[in-house]
Amino acid sequence: MITLNNGILKVEITEIGAEIRRVLKNGEDRMWSGNPEYWSGVSPILFPICSRLPDDEYSFNGKTYKMQMHGFASGLLFEVESAEMDTAIFLLKSNAETLKMFPFEFELRIKYTLILNTIKVEYFVLNKSENTMYYSIGSHESYACPEGIEAYDVVFEKEEVLKTALLEGPVFSGKYETILESGNTLSLKEDYFEFDTLIFKNIKSKKVSLINRETNKTANVFFPDSEYLLIWHPIGAPFICIEPWQGICSTKGDSKDITKKEGIIALGSEKENTHTHIFEFK
Beta bridge partners of 199: 230
Q: Which of 30-44, 145-159, 192-206, 217-231 has the lowest mean pLDDT?
A: 192-206
Tell me the CA distances in angstroms from 173 to 42, 75, 179, 233, 260, one per residue in order: 28, 29, 17, 21, 18
Per-residue model confidence (pLDDT) at position 54: 86
User: Cβ(18)–Cβ(110) under 8 Å?
Assistant: yes
CATH T-level fold of 2-281: Beta-galactosidase; Chain A, domain 5 (2.70.98)
Write out pLDDT tens, residues 60-106. Answer: 999 999 998 899 999 999 999 999 999 999 999 999 999 999 999 99
Write out pLDDT tens, residues 175-217. Answer: 899 999 899 999 999 999 987 899 999 899 999 999 999 999 9
Per-residue model confidence (pLDDT) at position 167: 86
Per-residue model confidence (pLDDT) at position 174: 83
Q: Please report which residue ranges of 141-214 form alpha helices under DSSP H.
A: none
**Residue 173: strand, helix, or coil:** strand
User: Cβ(86)–Cβ(6) under 8 Å?
Assistant: yes
Beta bridge partners of 127: 106
Backbone angles phi, psi at 172, to 5 degrees: -70, 140
Number of C-beta neighbours around residue 209 at 10 A: 20
Write out pLDDT tens, residues 266-279. Answer: 999 999 999 999 99
Per-residue model confidence (pLDDT) at position 196: 83
